[in-house]
Amino acid sequence: MILTQLPRFHFLVFKNPPPSFNFFPKPKLPIIKPASPTLFSSLSTAEPIPIADFALPDEPKLEVSLDKLFVPPETEVSCNDPNLSTKILKGSNIVLSKYAREAQVVQAEFVKSSVRTEDCPSDGLPEFALVGRSNVGKSSLLNSLVRRKRLALTSKKPGKTQCINHFRINDDWYLVDLPGYGYASAPQELRTDWGKFTRDYFINRSTLVSVFLLIDASIPAKKIDLEYASWLGQNQIPMTLIFTKCDKRKKKKNGGKRPEENVSEFQELICGFFQSVPPWIMTSSVTNQGRDEILLQMAQLRNYWRKH
């Protein structure tokens, strides 16, 4: 299949590609108090309506307004819908569509490591690529998704993870483990040039349904993560942001922020570069927060992709 035939989701369109990143966050918007059910129906769609409070008591909470929702294709959202909040994945901004089905992982097996896109499996099954900075929690998340202790057996040493690792799920689709980037402890010359290695895969892999970009929510936004997200947007590669380590709730003494604050800030920093809001999910491999939500998002993207 050639690239032009790829039925990708074009709801992530890069807006105003920046010559360089401006890391000064936009001024904070006023905090909107949760709307009461009666107020809900009377507001116009132009007004952001906070509708989220999806977390369990011990999970970080984040309000999501109507204009910040990710609405999949062929899905309608109405601010008059009293059940709207039940149609949104917990701890995310993602609206469920009719395609969100068959999300369970029954079987998972490692298939192969490839060093070039051409060497990747050629059976045409849809796939999702997991990628993120070294130490973001990618292996932990991969293992939590498939409920295995050590499925992701890739070496952690810089220079040894330069492979595209395919894991087949339910004999039906692939999870793909891509090389981590930004090894802080490696000498400059050994650091992964993510652009060179993965650019070809992102652009030419016709069965890539979406990239799942992992961002550590326990620390403030990193320049390299913002650059990665903006590059994906610029190249119209579909992306879901996965915020990891959301169980790390303690503020650091040196003015560190809570996961939900880092999550909001990351979104503010990238929102200027996208025409529509990217989907995002808060997760923890310790508590399994977000696991089912990731699998449902993958299911709805995959089932839609198959139909189109």
Chain positions contacting ligand GDP, by CB under 6 A: 132, 134-140, 156, 180, 244-245, 247-248, 284-286
CB closest to ligand GDP, residue no:
137
**Closer to ligand GDP by Cβ: residue 168 or 245:** 245
Minimum distance, C-beta of residue 199 to ligand GDP, in the bound complex (Å): 20
Minimum distance, C-beta of residue 105 to ligand GDP, in the bound complex (Å): 18
**Closer to ligand GDP by Cβ: residue 72 or 290:** 290
Minimum distance, C-beta of residue 183 to ligand GDP, in the bound complex (Å): 9
Minimum distance, C-beta of residue 152 to ligand GDP, in the bound complex (Å): 7
**Closer to ligand GDP by Cβ: residue 61 or 157:** 157
Minimum distance, C-beta of residue 289 to ligand GDP, in the bound complex (Å): 8
Helices 291-307 and 138-146 cross at an angle (nearest 10°) of 80
User: HEC string of the chain?
Assistant: CCHHHCCCCCCCCECCCCCCCCCCCCCCCCCCCCCCHHHHHHCCCCCCCECCCCCCCCCCCCCCEHHHCECCCCCCCCCCCCCHHHHECCCECEECCCCCCCCCCCCEEEEEEECCHHHCCCCCCCEEEEEEECCCCHHHHHHHHHCCCCCCCCCCCCCCCCCEEEEEECCCEEEEECCCECCCCCCHHHCCCHHHHHHHHHHHCCCEEEEEEEEECCCCCCHHHHHHHHHHHHCCCCEEEEEECCCCCCCCCCCCCCHHHHHHHHHHHHHCCECCCCCEEECCCCCCCCHHHHHHHHHHHHHHHHHC
**Closer to ligand GDP by Cβ: residue 297 or 300:** 297
- β-partners of residue 181 are 133
**Closer to ligand GDP by Cβ: residue 197 or 274:** 197
Minimum distance, C-beta of residue 132 to ligand GDP, in the bound complex (Å): 6
**Closer to ligand GDP by Cβ: residue 98 or 252:** 252
**Closer to ligand GDP by Cβ: residue 52 or 142:** 142
Minimum distance, C-beta of residue 241 to ligand GDP, in the bound complex (Å): 15
